[in-house]
Amino acid sequence: MLPVLKHDYMQASQDQPIYSEAPLQLLLFVDGRPKSRQQVQRIRAYLKELEADYKFELQIIDVGQQPYLAEHFKLVATPALIKIHPEPRHTLAGSNIVAQLKSWWPRWQAAVDAYVKLQNGLQDNLEDNGRTPSSPKSSIRSVAFSAELIHLSDEIFRLKQEKEQLEEQLQFKDRVIAMLAHDLRNPLTAIAIAIDTLQSNYNQEKGGFERLTPTMAAHLFKQGRNQTRLIDRMITDLLQVGRNNEREFPIQPQKIDLGQLCFEMLEELRDRYTIKSLKIEKDIPKDLPCVYADPERIRQVLMNLLDNAIKYTPEGGTISVAGLHRTTQKVQFSIGDSGPGIPEENRDRIFENHFRLERDEAKEGYGIGLCLCQRIVRAHYGQIWVDTAPNGGAWFHFTLPVYPS
């Protein structure tokens, strides 16, 4: 709390009792804006002129340090001068507070005189009945007490929110550890099988494979490499979502051919969509301009969207990839599937961190893929959204800036 600044001056009078607390109590709310500094100085200068003839108590409150007090008094602008005692409360605000104060001061003093007269009458009555009169309570001290209660209430609310966030993070970590242990087992098993097969068929003396054709050996090497990349992507996605926020998401943009990058990703995933007999439809114009983006980050976006498309498209279904030179500054890229689609009421929420559709709770995944995609695209000053595909599935779109020619 800022210290209470008291001005204990009043017009001298032999028959008027001196109270330990000033009957007129004021709060002056100020802020740190340079444009309001002169007005505050004028207000304080005028109040100082009044000190010679009147007794009042003043407290200066910086709304930047005590915003909860400004909220408590329902202030909409600062500086503001509030008479809090005697009741009723009265607020002066605007650009002409000094002029308002000159007009209201006589009426405030009349209220003070009425209050003092009432207090004297009560004290006389108590003394006549042999009771000791109590000193009037300071409204300013009541405000200070209320301010502390408000501040403590805000702290309790903030701590409660932090507690809920920490509990959510702990639950997410427990869930991730369980799923990560499960999900890593499949690619690690595939890698182990590929390595064991290559090792058992390798003849060191002849320097080659005995029972494996060159095509089969190349396939096993490719399988091991792809599964290694899958593990790396899983770990990278988790670390990036856990450590970074949107404002600090690092990118290193350069000129990239988005269509070519997508073709490379499809080739890496060929085994997965071939097993499900999925049809790949491509609509990427040859004159689609290059984009200015981070290739590794955009690779993550494409991998997440293609991975979801393969995962949710039923056997024999269709996956579509398309590019569009949307404006002179933006390229739009789209990936669609013929799966169950995204309910309209969840199309915004699916980009939230850890959010998963109820139908997907039993499926593998962490609920972070689309959140990561959104953060990457936004870091490139692009947009990402989803709607219904023509064949009834999900149709994801994102935009990226065109590489300046």
Residue ranges of the chain assigned to CATH 1.10.287.130: 157-243
Mean pLDDT in residue range 223-248: 67
Query: Which two tokens mark 113?
Result: 């005189």
**Residue 343 — very low, low, confident or very high, per pLDDT cuts 50/70/90?**
confident
* pLDDT surpassing 90 at residue 321: yes
Instruction: Give whole-number Cα distances, 373 to 303, 382, 396, in Å.
Output: 10, 11, 11
Q: Which CATH architecture has domain 247-401?
A: 2-Layer Sandwich (3.30)
Instruction: Give whole-number Cα distances, 211 to 201, 202, 204, in Å.
Output: 6, 9, 13
Average pLDDT, the chain: 78
Cβ atoms of residues 101 and 42 within 8 Å: no
Highest CATH level, class, for 157-243: mainly alpha
Query: Which two tokens mark 89?
Result: 């409360």
3-state SS of the chain: helix, strand, coil percent to 5?
50, 15, 30
Between these two residues, 354 and 381, which has the higher pLDDT value? Answer: 381
Cis before residue 285, ω within 30 degrees of 0?
no
* pLDDT surpassing 70 at residue 13: no
User: Can you give the pLDDT at residue 269?
Assistant: 86
User: Can you give the pLDDT at residue 164?
Assistant: 86
Task: Give the CA dihedral 114, 118, 119, 125, nearest 10 degrees.
Answer: 160
Reduce the DSSP state of residue 36 to 3 states and report it. helix
User: Can you give the pLDDT at residue 176?
Assistant: 62
* pLDDT surpassing 90 at residue 104: yes
Q: Where are the beta strands (DSSP E) in 198-340?
A: 202-203, 208-209, 254-256, 279-283, 291-293, 318-324, 330-337
The domain 5-137 belongs to what CATH superfamily? Glutaredoxin (3.40.30.10)
User: Can you give the pLDDT at residue 392?
Assistant: 79
User: Can you give the pLDDT at residue 142?
Assistant: 59
* pLDDT surpassing 50 at residue 191: yes
Q: Is the pTM of this model over 0.75?
A: no
CB-CB neighbours of 83 under 10 Å = 24
CB-CB neighbours of 355 under 10 Å = 15
Between these two residues, 16 and 279, which has the higher pLDDT value? Answer: 279
- Which of 326, 255, 337, 254 shows the shortest CA–CA distance to 285? 326
Residue 258, φ and ψ in degrees, nearest 5? -65, -40
**Residue 172 — very low, low, confident or very high, per pLDDT cuts 50/70/90?**
low
Residue ranges of the chain assigned to CATH 3.40.30.10: 5-137
Helix 258-268 / helix 295-312 crossing angle, nearest 10 deg: 50
User: Can you give the pLDDT at residue 138?
Assistant: 54
* pLDDT surpassing 80 at residue 388: yes
* pLDDT surpassing 90 at residue 255: yes
Residue where the block lists tokens 């200015």: 292
Residue ranges of the chain assigned to CATH 3.30.565.10: 247-401
**Residue 215 — very low, low, confident or very high, per pLDDT cuts 50/70/90?**
confident
Instruction: Point out the least confidently predicted range of 121-135, 148-162, 384-398.
Output: 121-135
Angstrom distance (rounded) from CA 254 to CA 276: 35
Q: What are the DSSP calls for 233-264, one per residue?
A: HHHHHHHHHHH--GGG-----EEE-HHHHHHH
Between these two residues, 370 and 318, which has the higher pLDDT value? Answer: 318
Between these two residues, 49 and 182, which has the higher pLDDT value? Answer: 49
Between these two residues, 299 and 177, which has the higher pLDDT value? Answer: 299
* pLDDT surpassing 80 at residue 320: yes
